[in-house]
Structure 1
């Protein structure tokens, strides 16, 4: 029986770079034969302190930590920023070495999509994963292809890495819900660990896309968190009418003048998640707050 224990992470060495599935599986066999547990942090690179926080938590829980760096084409539409998405591989590896990550899985597109991949969903062939019921609202209503691409690549990565635990940030709250459901329904034995959102000092949730913001846009960007936080304060004060909470948050966003793509929140017996998406210039900002629910710190 595998027992999980908390441990301090170390900064012993540069992570091993692994580019192929075969090489990783050989490494994993070595670890399992030595009785090691494996934690996994999936990323698309362009790392920031939010990613490193996940890796630190993984290192506390598991003997070995693998981070993937793969910009997944299946979650981009033809009109989106796949080619422009920041790629900072050498710096990412340096950052991961500071938190004790043992291996970086950095496959090619061909390795992950052996049948090939096009951004046009109507022309795609091969096997894809879709989570019905949780993929087509909120983020999915704006980007209908997105969670299909996420569920597909995370399934592939879970099949390759076969981790005991995988670590995700609460900033992508709907994504966490989709992945939990996918893992449950496909009988994937990996434990999904969701950790608190890491924020800048002004509340803006850390994101790789924040680097797209101009100086003026960066000053405006925390408005979504301020709006969500205002609703959270009301909830903490006893307000349980979801319409009131949305109205308060919506008023702040309206006064700021930023285009709102969605603002959502429903109160259930176990609390709720209030989430939203706005567009600051050409950059989408997403965020959420949990109402009456806690995730791991």
Structure 2
């Protein structure tokens, strides 16, 4: 487990703050409370503190101006921008949160190396907001970026990443315990907890998530329903590269060699989807097609020399009920199903001279993807 000071430094970097903000520097905190920040070359406000967000939100609520929230951990890409565009079409104000939440990383996961691109992120948001200003089809624009520190988000102290950590958590079961939850037992606890906090702070009319993180969307929708939260959860389609790879902030870890093979998960799920479209409903038929793609791809890679090959491990390929995420043996054609999978792209065995291995030297990177099997109509 990283010490508290390390967590604070990491998340301060994500929010574009000086490293000293990770320590209890009361002078800096007081300054942040009184100095209004904006994204350079834009009117987008940068809000660091919960009180600042609430003060910003009050008049919009009184004036019946809608607010859409797009939660992110930074390292923004076109997938995030598609969510922000959707929010701008439907709301008077858009808030983008940028916060690397340590609670959704396991103790052996990549928090320390997670890409931090604050300057690039806010510059991209400024460009996107100018696009909205020139496009009369949008209801609103990007009004604020919420970029808190961990001490702001966890006022009683960060409780830790261990499964048995003590603290104030939101747990959504059983949908948060299967698939990703089985492989990463603290992940959805961290996601649900930080989303509950963000929703309470921003009080959005709508929140926007991508389908790529399909289990996350099921967990968040269940949380909003069960806690009777007054916000609509809007799910937007997965944004993909031309070859089908789902966009993810973690793709920067891959490097060109592994990037060329990472599309195997998308191809495997597409093969399974084709079986369903051709009338196959049994698990063995549908998932058999996906597993065959993964198997043949890996076998082909293993035949290559070490300085050319790419290896990966399949964590799971799933066919589950769209509401409960429990595995199904036969797709109910009236309901459809969710095909999902996760693979771990392993570090290259032997680097070529001068090879770009990806961000942080190309560590193992876990990729997820999914496809919705739509219900069949008569």
Asked if these proteins are the same fold (TM beyond 0.5), I'd say yes
Superposed, 1:204-215 pairs within 5 Å as 204-215=245-256
Q: Distance in 2 between matches of 1:23 and 1:265?
A: 44
Confirm or deny that 1:286 pairs with 2:368: yes
Runs of 4+ in 1 over 4 A off after TM superposition: none
Q: Residue in 2 aligned with 1:277?
A: 342
Q: How far does residue 293 in structure 1 lie from its aligned partner after superposition?
A: 5.6
Confirm or deny that 1:80 pairs with 2:109: yes
Contact 2:107 2:162 (8 Å CA) reproduced? no
Q: How far does residue 118 in structure 1 lie from its aligned partner after superposition?
A: 4.4
Q: Residue in 1 aligned with 2:327?
A: none
Contact 1:76 1:119 (8 Å CA) reproduced? no
Q: Residue in 2 aligned with 1:5?
A: none
Confirm or deny that 1:222 pairs with 2:263: yes
**1:180-225 deviation per Cα after TM superposition (whole angstroms, max 9, x unaligned):** 0011111111100000000001100000000000211000000100
Aligned pairs, number: 283
Q: How far does residue 30 in structure 1 lie from its aligned partner after superposition?
A: 2.1
Superposed, 1:98-109 pairs within 5 Å as 98-100=127-129, 101-109=142-150
Q: Distance in 2 between matches of 1:270 and 1:95?
A: 39
Q: Distance in 2 between matches of 1:123 and 1:115?
A: 17
The match for 1:187 among 222, 225, 228 is 228
Contact 2:163 2:185 (8 Å CA) reproduced? no
Contact 2:105 2:161 (8 Å CA) reproduced? no
Contact 1:225 1:287 (8 Å CA) reproduced? yes
Q: How far does residue 242 in structure 1 lie from its aligned partner after superposition?
A: 2.4
What SS does the aligned partner of 2:128 have?
Answer: coil
Confirm or deny that 1:137 pairs with 2:178: yes
Q: Distance in 1 between matches of 2:104 and 2:219?
A: 14
Contact 1:115 1:125 (8 Å CA) reproduced? no
Confirm or deny that 1:95 pairs with 2:124: yes
Q: Distance in 1 between matches of 2:257 and 2:79?
A: 23
Which protein shows a greater Rg?
2
Q: Residue in 2 aligned with 1:259?
A: 313
Unaligned stretches of 5+ in structure 2? 1-40, 130-141, 299-311, 321-330, 347-363
The match for 2:59 among 30, 43, 64 is 30
Q: How far does residue 45 in structure 1 lie from its aligned partner after superposition?
A: 0.3
Q: Distance in 2 between matches of 1:141 and 1:198?
A: 26
Q: Distance in 2 between matches of 1:150 and 1:193?
A: 17
**Which range moves more in the overlay, 100-109 or 42-51?**
100-109
Contact 1:14 1:93 (8 Å CA) reproduced? no
Q: Whose RCO is larger (CA < 8 A, sep 6+)? A: 1
What SS does the aligned partner of 1:259 have?
Answer: strand
The match for 1:249 among 276, 284, 290 is 290
Confirm or deny that 1:55 pairs with 2:84: yes
Q: Residue in 2 aligned with 1:9?
A: none
**1:79-106 deviation per Cα after TM superposition (whole angstroms, max 9, x unaligned):** 1111111111111111122333210000
Unaligned stretches of 5+ in structure 1? 1-11
Contact 1:197 1:205 (8 Å CA) reproduced? yes
TM-score with structure 2 setting the length: 0.73
Q: Distance in 2 between matches of 1:155 and 1:261?
A: 29
Q: How far does residue 265 in structure 1 lie from its aligned partner after superposition?
A: 0.4
Contact 1:138 1:262 (8 Å CA) reproduced? yes
Q: How far does residue 146 in structure 1 lie from its aligned partner after superposition?
A: 0.3
What SS does the aligned partner of 1:264 have?
Answer: strand
**Which range moves more in the overlay, 167-176 or 226-235?**
226-235
